[in-house]
Homo-oligomer: A and B are copies of this chain.
Amino acid sequence: MSDAVLRREPPLRPEFERTVVDAGPIGDVARPLSAWERLTDQTALRRTVLLLAIALLWEGYARWLDNPLVFPTFSDTILALWDGIRNDGLPTMAWVSLSTLLQGYVVAVVLAVVMTSVAVSTRIGNDLLSTLTSMFNPLPAIALLPIAMLWFGLGTVSLTFVLVHAVLWPLALNMHSGFMAVPETLRMAGRNYGLSGLRYVFGILIPAAFPAILTGLKIGWAFAWRTLIAAELVFGVSSGKGGLGWFIFQNRNELYIDKVFAGLVVVILIGLFIENVVFRWIEGHTVRHWGMLR
């Protein structure tokens, strides 16, 4: 060690005392933001610009490709969408799909809560959930088809069954690992209040694991759509009142690829709405508000 370091001494300064001003009226002293900062601060705006950029890319690539039977342009798709809305009852079809989907989703959410509650309460429940999840999660919907038809016949109930299969396992997985990752101190606090069983799950575990549960809900939502569209083709609710999947399937078979893309665009739009409005709102009022998520 050099002498220079050893000898380093801070200067002696005089002491002082000050009187403190009344802090009552201190307001927001944030520096005003520049116009550009304020603009880019608007998440909605940024995302809209992003969507426009994606649409432009699509249009450009499709034009360059010039193969409308494989990849139609964005403008053609929008025209087809408009046509679909006016002539083919696309909104009704979207509604049919959406309502089926919501049914399956709700059932799956309830089931997931029940199963994971049992799983965290007992060791055998834990084994059961883990085993069932690893068994059934990888199975494609078609594997359930015969069973679904056997139990529920053709129609919405079977479709719901397949949807539940799509949503339940990923949601249960996320929920369960969320529960498992709840900090020990919070668990102890909850048990200290004498909570147990469902009251413990709803009072402590679910809110504490809410970030993971929300992710599970998002994934479940997406996979419900994937499955619904694939399953509608097969289960093809009696002709006449098909949903979006049916619309896509039929038009694909008839090689109206622009309409197929229009159907997919509807799915995308619903997805964007759910993510940017519904889930964003929920996040803003829960996990972000609670400081559990950045």
Contacts and interface: CB of A to CB of B under 8 A. Distances in A.
Contacts of A293: 177, 180-181
A243 interface: no
Contacts of A40: 123
A18 interface: no
A139 B226 contact: yes
A252 B142 CA distance: 10
Given A127-B43, A173-B215, A225 B272 contact: no
Contacts of A136: 268
A170 B167 CA distance: 12
A141 interface: yes
A180 B47 contact: no
Count copies of this chain in the complex: 2
Interface in A258-289: 260, 264, 267-268, 270-272, 274-276, 287
A150 interface: yes
| Residue of A130, A134, A180 ringed by the most chain B CB atoms within 10 A | A134
Contacts of A248: 143
A181 B292 contact: yes
Contacts of A123: 40, 46
Contact of A294 (B124, B147, B180, B226): B180
Interface of A: 40, 43, 46-47, 50-51, 54, 65, 67, 70-71, 123-124, 127-128, 130-131, 133-143, 146-147, 149-150, 169-170, 173-174, 177, 180-181, 184, 211-212, 214-215, 218-219, 221-223, 225-227, 229-230, 233, 245, 248, 252, 257, 260, 264, 267-268, 270-272, 274-276, 287, 292-294
